Amino acid sequence: MKIHFFKYQGTGNDFILLDNRKGEYDSLKKKQIALLCDRRFGIGGDGLIMLSEKNGFDFEMKYFNADGAPGSMCGNGGRCVTAFANALGIKKDLYSFLAYDGEHQSKMLDEGASLKMSAVKKVDSDDRAKVLDTGSPHYVLNVKDVESVDVFNRGKKIRNSAKYAKKGINVNFVENTGKNSIYVRTYERGVENETYSCGTGVTASALASANGRNGKYDVKIKTKGGRLSVAFEKNSTGYDNIWLSGPADFVFEGTIELNDK
C-alpha cells in the first residue's frame, strides 16, 4: 500500500497528515499507524491525523496516537490540520470541523493557526495538582524550576498510578514565569514520553493558572518546542471562548510503501 503523506509540526509537536477525503486510508490498522509514527522504522511523529470529508463541516479530523490507537483531541494537531486544509485548497476565513470531542472552529494567522477549544466547566483538585479535561484529560502540577524536573519518570509514574492507569492522563509540570506567563513541560499518554509541546496540555495549564478572578485572560506559554498563547474567558460557569494560537508549519511530504498486513 502506497501512502502519500505530509509532515507538519506545531512548536515541535509533529504529526503525519493524510488527505483521506476519498477514504483510501480508512483501512489502516493500529500496528500500521504505529509503524508510520515510529521514528526509526517509519516516518516519525507524535501522532497521525487523517483529514476526511464530513457532511455539514469543512472537514473531519481523525487523530491517532503514536501507538496507533485512536486518540482524543489534540490542540496542536487541530492547528496543523487547519494549515493542512488551507494548503489543500480548502480556503475559509473561519473553519468548522469535527473532532473527537465535537465541533471546533479554527482560522489561519499570519504566522500559524488558531484553534477554538471546547469549553471547560470545572477544574478539580488532586492533592497539590489540578485535573481538568480540555478535550483530553490533564494533570497540572506547579513546580518552582521546571527545567530540573525529571518529566519522563515523574510523568510516567503519575500517568500509570492506580487512579489514572486505566484511562491514562497527560501530566503537565508548570512554572510561573511572570504575570500571565508560564513554562510547561508535558508527559503525553499514547506517546508515553515527554513531547516538545502539547496543545491541550498548555491549554489546561493556562486555565489552571488563572486566579479566582473572573474576566478575560491571555496567557503566554513557553514549551520546549516554542511559544504558544491561550486566550480565554473565566466566568461563574467555567472557562469559555478558549483560543489556542501558535505556529503550524509544513515540514516535508513524501510517499511510503506500507505492508498491507
What pLDDT is stored for residue 261 in this prediction?
Answer: 65
Range 2-113+248-257: architecture per CATH: Roll (3.10)
Q: How far apart are CA 46 and CA 193, in angstroms?
A: 10
- Antiparallel, parallel or unpaired: β 13-19 and 2-10: antiparallel
Backbone angles phi, psi at 148, to 5 degrees: -90, -5
Residues 84, 17: contact at Cβ < 8 Å?
A: yes
Residue 159, amino acid:
R
Sequential DSSP letters for 90-122: ---SSEEEEETTEEEEEEEETTEEEEEEPPB--
- The three cell numbers of residue 144 are 518552582
Measured CA to CA, the distance from residue 190 to residue 70 in angstroms comes to 9
Q: Among all residues, which ones are annotated catalytic?
A: 74, 198
Q: Which of 3.10.310.10, 3.40.50.300, 3.40.50.1110, 3.20.20.140 would CATH assign to domain 124-246?
A: 3.10.310.10
Neighbours of 176 (CB within 10 A): 14
DSSP letter assigned to residue 26: T
DSSP, res 127: T
Say if 2-113+248-257 and 124-246 have the same CATH topology. Answer: yes
Mean pLDDT of successive 10-residue stretches along the chain, which has 261 residues: 97 98 97 97 97 98 97 96 98 97 97 97 94 97 98 98 96 96 97 97 96 90 98 95 98 93 65
Q: Phi and psi (nearest 5°) for 163?
A: -70, -35
Least Cα distance to 112 among 245, 19, 213 occurs for 245
The CA distance from 206 to 223, in Å, is 12
pLDDT (0 to 100) of residue 156: 98
One DSSP character per residue, 37-100 reads: H-TTTSS--SEEEEEE--TTSSEEEEEEETTSSB----HHHHHHHHHHHHHTT---SSEEEEET
155: helix, strand or coil: helix
DSSP 146: G
Task: Output the pLDDT for position 150.
Answer: 98
List, in order, residues 6 or more apart from 239 with CB less than 8 Å away. Answer: 119, 120, 121, 207, 210, 232, 233
Residue that the C-alpha cell 500500521 belongs to:
32
Nearest Cα residue to 122 out of 137, 142, 110, 106: 137
Q: Where are the domains of the chain?
A: 2-113+248-257, 124-246
